[in-house]
Amino acid sequence: MVVAITLLLTAAQSCMKWEYGTMEEFRVSESGLFICNEGNFQYGNATLSYYNPETGEVENEIFARANAMKLGDVAQSMVIRDGIGWIVVNNSHIIFAIDINTFREVDRITNIASPRYIHFVSDTKAYVSQIWNNRIYIVNPKTFEITGDIVCPNMTMESGSTEQMVQVGDYVFVNCWSYQNRILKIDTRTDTVVAELTVGIQPTSLTLDRNGKLWTITDGGFAGSPYGFEAPALYCIDPESFTIERQFSFRLGDAPSEIQINGSKECLYWINDDIWAMDISAERLPVRPIIEARGTKYYGLTISPTNGDIYIADAIDYQQQGVIYRYSAEGELKDEFYVGIIPGAFCWK
């Protein structure tokens, strides 16, 4: 019994204090790429890596090294705004704000139930999407406080899922992924959901092309899923009329994800075992991938906005350190490097 109490106290303290070691000095000024390594769910081993595409140098565990504390449990995503990097750490219920040159914590937003992504509406308002929760939080990035929430329609707590957010004018569009099949349209002036569009089962991600059209890609669920299983599809959505303009079907059993777009916003990329690319004006899905799978698990994808290089995160077996592969736009391998466990999201500096 004594043992039990001691262990519980130790566990609780380690969550509260994040003590790690000494604070290392960093000062990067060049452009670069942050990589969020999710780590294993409930193991508190999420990390942040930083890569310099010019020199090929990579620094791992930069958050822990710069701040002498752990990043937390499941680093889901990161965005940069005005020199501040916002790292959403899902199962630590926290969003860290860091200086993107020193990696030092500036401040934090705490007590967010299950955050996934953050989207800035203005300097004083941002939305935070969530999973297992039917609310999108409204936060004030200046005061680091939660100021309100947006209740999403037809979503219970358990089936709640809001993911990536894309803004067109006064409206923010968000894809609802886990056990959902919708894109929601939020009026940022009233912070309310004003419309919803049904797509296929589980839209995974969302992006915007040069013509102002939204693109989402569903994963179709999985065999035996109580929510259903269907052939996934790529959708082109007109945000103005909020209707599906074009739809491209995959084969049943495919599981595409991670829709991305290049710097000129005219070429789409996604993961479907392999890496695929498609011009936004294409009339059909490509028949051949641009980069083939290596027998491991491609888990994250980003395209350099400046030179079109393709960066692929390989989670390997979800246990060991993941690898990032960097390819040219033409599909030639240029670099590869180890990062942390389960690299999933990228953020360009």
Partner 1 sequence: MKRLFIALFIALTTLSCNKDGVIRAEGGVPQITLDNPTAVYSVKVGNSITINPTYTYTDENTVYNWSIDGVTVCTDPQFTYKANISGQIYITIEVANTYGTDSEVIRVDVSDIEIPTITLAAPEQISFVVGSLYTFTTSLKQTSLKTDIVWTLNDKVVGDQRSYLFTAQSAGVYILTVTATNSDGKHSDSIEITVLNAEDMPFIWEFESDMLHGVVGREVVIKPTKVSGHQNVDYYWLSLNQPQDSSRENYYKYTPQTTGRHTIKANASTIIGSQTIATSLIFTLDVYEEGQFVRPATNSSASQCNKVYEYTPAPGQFIGDNYTASTPTQACEVALQRMQQGLYISLGGFGGYIVVGFDHSISNGEGYDFAVAGNSFGTSSEPGIVWVMQDENGDGKPNDTWYELAGSETGKEGTVRDYEVTYYRPNGAGMDVLWVDNMGNSGTIDYLPTYHKQEYYYPQWIEADSYTLRGTLIKARNYDKYGNGAMWIQPPYDWGYADNYSSSDRLADGEGSENNAMPNGLDISNAIDHSGKSIKLDFIDFVKVQTACNTKSGWLGENSTEIFAIYSL
What is the Cα–Cα distance from 349 to 99, expressed in whole angstroms? 11
What is the Cα–Cα distance from 275 to 272, expressed in whole angstroms? 6
Instruction: With CA atoms as reference, report the closest residue to 335 among 30, 60, 51, 62.
Output: 51
Least Å distance between CB 171 and partner 1? 29
Structural contact between residues 349 and 48, judged by C-beta atoms closer than 8 angstroms: no
What is the Cα–Cα distance from 276 to 289, expressed in whole angstroms? 5
Closer of 69 and 97 to partner 1 (Cβ): 69
Instruction: With CA atoms as reference, report the closest residue to 241 among 191, 171, 192.
Output: 171
Least Å distance between CB 67 and partner 1? 16
Least Å distance between CB 288 and partner 1? 6
Least Å distance between CB 342 and partner 1? 11
Closer of 42 and 241 to partner 1 (Cβ): 42
> Residues near 138 by Cβ (< 8 Å), separated by ≥ 6?
125, 126, 127, 128, 146, 147, 148, 149, 150, 191
What is the Cα–Cα distance from 279 to 156, expressed in whole angstroms? 37
What is the Cα–Cα distance from 32 to 29, expressed in whole angstroms? 9
Closer of 47 and 262 to partner 1 (Cβ): 47
**Burial, 52: exposed, middle or buried (Cβ in 10 Å; 0-12, 13-18, 19+)?**
middle
Least Å distance between CB 43 and partner 1? 5
Closer of 30 and 227 to partner 1 (Cβ): 227
> Residues near 346 by Cβ (< 8 Å), separated by ≥ 6?
33, 34, 35, 36, 300, 301, 302, 311, 313
Instruction: With CA atoms as reference, report the closest residue to 109 among 149, 143, 134.
Output: 143
Closer of 73 and 309 to partner 1 (Cβ): 73
**Parallel, antiparallel, or unpaired for β 310-314 and 321-327?**
antiparallel
**Parallel, antiparallel, or unpaired for β 145-151 and 298-303?**
unpaired
Closer of 26 and 229 to partner 1 (Cβ): 229
Least Å distance between CB 155 and partner 1? 12
Least Å distance between CB 60 and partner 1? 13
Closer of 16 and 223 to partner 1 (Cβ): 223
Closer of 190 and 222 to partner 1 (Cβ): 222
Least Å distance between CB 222 and partner 1? 5
Closer of 7 and 195 to partner 1 (Cβ): 7
> Which parts of this chain interact with partner 1 (CB under 8 A)?
1, 3-4, 7-8, 10-11, 14, 40-45, 70, 132, 158-159, 178-179, 222-227, 251-253, 255, 283-285, 287-288, 317, 319-320
- CA torsion sign for 280, 333, 324, 27 is negative
Instruction: With CA atoms as reference, report the closest residue to 217 among 198, 236, 245, 230.
Output: 236
Least Å distance between CB 132 and partner 1? 8
